[in-house]
Amino acid sequence: MLMDFFILLKQELVIVAIIFLLLFINLGKDRSNESLLPLINVVLLLNVLLGFFGSKEGSLFGEMFHTGKLIILEKNILNLATWIISLLSFSWLRTHKHVIEFYILLLTALLGMFFMISSGNLLVLYLGLEMSTIPIAAAANFDLAKRKSSEAAMKMIISSAFSSALVLLGISWIYGVSGSLDFSVILLQGPDSPFRIFAFILLVSGFAFKMSAVPFHLWTADVYEGAPVSVTAYLSVVSKASVVFVILAFLYNAGKAFADTWYHILIVLSILSIIIGNLFALRQNNFKRFLAFSSIAQVGFIFIGIAGSSQVSSAAVVYFVLVYVFSNLAAFGVVALVSAVSGKENISDYKAFYTTNPLLSWVLTIAMFSLAGVPPTAGFFGKFFLLMAGAAKGNYWLIGIAALNMVVSFYYYLRVVKTIFMEENSQPIEKLAIPGASRLALYICLAGMLIAGLASCVYDYIYSISFGL
Amino acid sequence: MSDYAYIVLIPLLPLASFVLLGLFGRKYFTKSAGIIGTMALLASTIIALMAAHQYFFVDGKVAGAYHQVIAFKYTWLAFSPGVSIDMGIVIDPISVMMLVVVSFVSLMVHMFSLGYMKGEERFATYYAYLGLFTFSMLGLVLSVNIFQVYLFWELVGVSSFLLIGYYYEKPTAVAASKKAFIVTRFADLGFLIGILILGFYSGTLDISTLIHKLTSVQSPEYIAITTAGFLGASALTWALVLVFIGGAGKSAMFPLHIWLPDAMEGPTPVSALIHAATMVVAGVYLVARLFPVFSMDDTALHVVTYVGAFSALLAAVIACTQTDIKRVLAFSTMSQIGYMMFALGVSKQVGEQGLGYMASMFHLFTHAFFKSLLFLCAGAVIHLVHSNEIKDMGGLRKLMPVTHIAFLVACLAIAGVPPFAGFFSKEEILLAAFNENKLIYAVALFTAALTAFYMFRLYFSIFWSKESAHHDTHHEGTVSMKIPLIILAACTIGVGFIPFAKLVTADGAALETHIDILFSLAPVGLTLIAILIAARLYKQQNGGPQKIADSLGGFYRVVSRKFYMDELYLFITKKIIFPLIGKPIAWIDRNIVDGCMNALASITVKISGGIKGMQSGKVQGYALYFFGGVTLLAILFIYVWK
């Protein structure tokens, strides 16, 4: 029994252990960042590796906490993404005074996400949601010298407080109607009254806020631009991915009775997100803002996949998220390196980037291709599978709009590639020294973008552990 | 049935060349890159010829008809039960024919480039790209699965983007490669949706299963796809038209042809490869590959027919007025592909009525030789005079005897003069059109005469006209440039005599054809007259052409500006999309969104007594939007949707 407890909770327990470890280190005598950072990175690597051992299906705390193969895989993806971000932040954190606090915040948020993904009860879900938001808001403030960074933190905390309030309202209404917070109980209630539907919409809007789907996206661009690049990467990849996983689990399990309603909600959100995300991404010059808006459009594509509501869609979504982690982190990695050294964050600064930094240029180019969905990068397969899954519902207007927007997105992703390779610049960004850690992270992302697409076993495995509505 | 697994080597060798040269080319193979690439292609070509021999003459025929053989199939990914994505190799008459064409023309281009691209700084990169392109094209040809087609289809697009943009210092080349990529992307969008519809209704992505399910009238899949409708047409029609749009983009059919003339910015041998024999015929190949399904739907076939015929005519008219040698060839390619398309469109699946299909494939085959020859000759000419403009040429026949003869042979072939290759294939196309649709026949006939005219205009302007302004010190090019010209010229004379109707037909069974002299009289007569007119006008320099151009006045100007097609697109994007959609969005962004924020902010500020400082005030606006979104969804789903 106790053994079960440890095995089922192993990923959470490891994170807690790491947080305590960091706290103890912090209490002791001061250590230099040069010795601290490698240690932390190794610990995080161990955390990733540990996730692959000893998986077991089951639930704890009276059905409040669930775990299974798919959930473990999802947590592993998040662990991996966190590790990669940590590697990429190396050059930024090297000179930072509060390294340990930074990691504690990120890991606490990660822990919150884990509970959120595993939740079998709305209360746990809510706690996880909060726990995964507030620390990141604090982390967004970590460019201590920059005003914009503090502003980003403020905006995030206020916006998310507002969203939390509505989510709580939704939860309490659901409780009022069904007398329970357990997924398995709310599951039985049909969508017969507007009251229920409204409560449900409140809940979904909370998720949509975290995923920055239109029209709940407005905080995204400001926060992405103001926060340090590492935190932006964390927000746009780890945080977003975790909510995708949650929404998938929640809708496919607890939302069965509402299937018709949320299908249409997702369609509306998806069309809005894709179109508005794309149109705004077209005009951005700040690289982080650009990635912010383009990731809003990506979320729209994810919604199409989720709306398919079959085993295939669940697999396609998890697969897409995996690919998205690699592609987006590769892009953010390059941006982080450039920003840490030269402070430049505009796309126009990247003119003739290829002449000085060929390796980084190639990584960025492949990332852009993968995000745009050009074969043979993994992004192509990811998008294609999402559309296939969505097409199973036979809603061709939606697929048509999505495919049309894929072409639009081609235009702006290609614009970045063109800037890097083909435009002239008398003062290109100087040649950057890439720290070993960042180099490793970029290679991992590169391998991910190229291999995850061509190695069919990745998708096959995800499919084998997925489930439909 | 013997084993064809060795065919996998044909695409893999160019891939190996790409990987080797791409990774190490710039360091270790700066000089030898060309030889390595050419050797790989030589091996591929030999294997392809062996495979063709084995299939056509040894064991491909079962009970009097050529059978489809799946040489190799590997389930790469099981997407869901029933729908799997396979990688494999299909062997049937058209795939074997395409194998030969693609590897052979690619070999010629590899060889020609040894001299043409010599001394280029990124020589190894160039050969790496060539290898990648050849690999993708061969992979496309061999596909067993419609997803495999799409994958390689996109790869072909990517590698041609790289090749067209090879001279990336030139802004026009960059713009051209981008245009080609984006325009074909729009077309691919149609293809993608078409695939999704076909896959959805037939429940499979495997091409032969799909064809099997959608061609038997009683199957539930066929009934489902023909009864489901959308805007007045059945789902089958939609799917096929969408797939055809994808093909039309790659094959530069009207109105998606605008990228082709600009793509001439790439190195000329690249044009010979991409824009003559391989990528541009991918669309034709796609329609041919799915032809059994196309033949089930008359509407889709009509679309193919009329788009093809109109493109053929339009391109021929434009070609008469262009002064850039490569652009003339580009439009002539578009025109000839139009021929192949409408030939497919007037065809049926079985027996005698399958003449159009056979003729289309035949023309694809012969066209590959003479058009790549024309492009390579153009390359040799451009190499010598360093200009693409016809006016800088003239009187070159003495300076470049080999090129001269080769170009003449190719011109005679494309004009359809017997006994050159183009004559045989064009006759079959005209006959097929004549049997099915007289209007199309008339268009085709007129286009044939125009073709002869503009090709010989080109020929006389380059090699005759005035005396050459170039000195004897200029050379015609290296031996490695001449050999491909000679080989291709020999093929152009010879390939017409291949008994194509016995080998490549829609249903696999041999087709009886014969050349009817009476029927040939009209096209050949018209062609000869057109050649004589061209000779009269362009053999000696005189004021004739200008006079005609003047007398046509406005019409000539419209045509020479390619019917203002580019201007139209520019107008739509610059004058309509940007100001009417882009600018309002920017304006909304700046004024309404920000304005709302500011207004809200100022109200809030007044109410709360002036919270200033760090907060820009926008967050309240965000919250309002958030709440607005919730309300909107609530209203939508509680009141409207119910």
Mark yes or no for CB contact B80/A312 under 8 Å. yes
Contact with chain B for residue A252, Cβ under 8 A: no
AA identity, residue A164 = S
Per residue in B567-614, pLDDT (tens digit) is 665 555 555 544 454 444 444 444 554 455 455 445 544 543 433 333
Q: Are B65 and B509 in contact (CB under 8 A)?
A: yes
Query: What are the chain A neighbours of B614 within 8 Å (beta carbons)?
Result: 147, 150-151, 154
Q: From CA A318, how far away is CA A116, in angstroms rounded? A: 16
Contact with chain B for residue A169, Cβ under 8 A: no
Confidence (pLDDT) at B8: 84
Region of A179 on the Ramachandran plot (φ > 0 left; ψ -120 to 50 alpha; else beta): left
Burial of A454: CB neighbours in 10 Å, binned 0-12, 13-18, 19+: middle
Mark yes or no for CB contact B80/A374 under 8 Å. no
Confidence (pLDDT) at B589: 40
Average pLDDT over every residue of B194-198: 84
Contact with chain A for residue B19, Cβ under 8 A: no
Q: Which residues 6+ apart lie within 8 Å of A412 measured at CB? A: A278, A281, A282, A290, A294
Cα A467 versus chain centre, distance: 21
Per residue in B92-137, pLDDT (tens digit) is 888 888 888 899 888 888 888 887 777 777 778 888 888 888 999 9
Interface pTM (ipTM) of the complex? 0.74
Query: What are the chain B neighbours of A219 within 8 Å (beta carbons)?
Result: 619, 622
- Say which residue the tokens 């590698």 belong to: B159
Confidence (pLDDT) at A228: 85
Q: Which residues 136-175 of B have a C-beta within 8 angstroms of A?
A: 147, 150-151, 154-155, 158, 165, 168, 174
B135-140: long-range contacts (C-beta < 8 A, 24 or more apart)?
B135/B11, B135/B12, B135/B14, B135/B15, B135/B18, B137/B102, B137/B106, B137/B278, B137/B279, B137/B282, B138/B10, B138/B11, B138/B14, B138/B44, B138/B99, B138/B102, B138/B103, B139/B11, B140/B282, B140/B285
User: What does the DSSP 8-state code read for residue B573?
Assistant: I
Per residue in B176-186, pLDDT (tens digit) is 777 777 777 77
Mark yes or no for CB contact B637/A394 under 8 Å. no
Q: What is A248-286 written as a DSSP string?
A: HHHHHHTTGGGHHHHHHHHHHHHHHHHHHHHHHHTT--B
Confidence (pLDDT) at A302: 92
Confidence (pLDDT) at A111: 93
Q: From CA B154, how far away is CA B126, in angstroms rounded? A: 19
Work out how many CB contacts closer than 8 A connect A with B: 143
Q: From CA B198, how far away is CA A396, in angstroms rounded? A: 12
How many Cα atoms occupy the beta-carbon half-sphere of B429 within 13 Å?
36
Q: From CA B18, how far away is CA B124, in angstroms rounded? A: 9
Burial of A427: CB neighbours in 10 Å, binned 0-12, 13-18, 19+: exposed
How many Cα atoms occupy the beta-carbon half-sphere of A275 within 13 Å?
14
Nearest to B187 by CA among B159, B139, B150, B161: B150
Confidence (pLDDT) at A108: 93
Average pLDDT across chain B, whole number: 77
The model's confidence at residue B7, banded by pLDDT at 50, 70 and 90, is confident
Among A290-299, B441-450, B459-468, B615-624, where is mean pLDDT lowest? B615-624
Mark yes or no for CB contact B623/A456 under 8 Å. no
Confidence (pLDDT) at B571: 58
Query: What are the chain B neighbours of A391 within 8 Å (beta carbons)?
Result: 196-197, 199-200
User: What does the DSSP 8-state code read for residue B469?
Assistant: -
Look at residue B473 and give its three-state secondary structure: coil
Burial of B245: CB neighbours in 10 Å, binned 0-12, 13-18, 19+: buried
Distances (CA, A) of A116 to A113, A237, B5: 5, 16, 51
Nearest to B500 by CA among B349, B295, B354: B354
Among B177-186, B247-256, B450-459, where is mean pLDDT lowest? B177-186
Rounded to 5 degrees, what are φ and ψ at A435? -65, 150
Locate the chain A residue with the closest alpha carbon to B629: A215
Q: From CA B168, how far away is CA B30, in angstroms rounded? A: 19
Nearest to A338 by CA among A325, A352, A349: A349
Confidence (pLDDT) at A113: 92
Look at residue B79 and give its three-state secondary structure: strand
Contact with chain B for residue A198, Cβ under 8 A: yes
Distances (CA, A) of B252 to A427, B157, B263, B311, B411: 40, 13, 11, 9, 22
Full-model pTM: 0.77
Contact with chain B for residue A350, Cβ under 8 A: no
β-sheet bridge partners, residue A182: A121
Q: Are B376 and B112 in contact (CB under 8 A)?
A: yes
Residue A205's H or E segment, with its range, is: helix A194-210
pLDDT > 70 fraction of chain B, expressed in percent and rounded: 83
Which parts of chain A register pLDDT below 70?
1, 187-192, 283, 469
Among A30-44, B235-249, B354-368, where is mean pLDDT lowest? A30-44
Q: Which residues 499-538 of B have a C-beta within 8 angstroms of A?
A: none
AA identity, residue B186 = F
Contact with chain A for residue B199, Cβ under 8 A: yes
Q: Is the peptide bond before B499 cis (omega within 30 degrees of 0)?
A: no
Nearest-CA distance A182 → chain B (Å): 24
pLDDT > 90 fraction of chain B, expressed in percent and rounded: 0
Nearest-CA distance A407 → chain B (Å): 6
Per residue in B27-45, pLDDT (tens digit) is 777 777 888 888 888 888 9
Confidence (pLDDT) at B600: 45
Per residue in B287-334, pLDDT (tens digit) is 888 888 888 888 888 888 888 888 888 888 777 777 788 888 888 888
The model's confidence at residue B557, banded by pLDDT at 50, 70 and 90, is low
Contact with chain B for residue A222, Cβ under 8 A: yes
Q: Is the peptide bond before B255 cis (omega within 30 degrees of 0)?
A: yes
Confidence (pLDDT) at B119: 74
Contact with chain A for residue B186, Cβ under 8 A: yes
Contact with chain A for residue B78, Cβ under 8 A: yes
Confidence (pLDDT) at B618: 64
Q: Are A407 and B189 in contact (CB under 8 A)?
A: yes
Confidence (pLDDT) at A106: 92
Nearest to B272 by CA among B488, B469, B60: B488
Locate the chain A residue with the closest alpha carbon to B82: A312
| Structure tokens, B23 | 């990774």
Burial of B514: CB neighbours in 10 Å, binned 0-12, 13-18, 19+: exposed
Mark yes or no for CB contact B633/A380 under 8 Å. no
Mark yes or no for CB contact A376/B199 under 8 Å. no
Q: Is the peptide bond before A358 cis (omega within 30 degrees of 0)?
A: no
Mark yes or no for CB contact A311/B80 under 8 Å. yes
Q: From CA B264, how far away is CA B208, in angstroms rounded? A: 36
How many Cα atoms occupy the beta-carbon half-sphere of B136 within 13 Å?
26
| Residue B348 CB neighbour total at 10 angstroms | 17
The model's confidence at residue B545, banded by pLDDT at 50, 70 and 90, is low
Q: Which residues 550-579 of B have a C-beta within 8 angstroms of A?
A: none
Contact with chain A for residue B637, Cβ under 8 A: yes
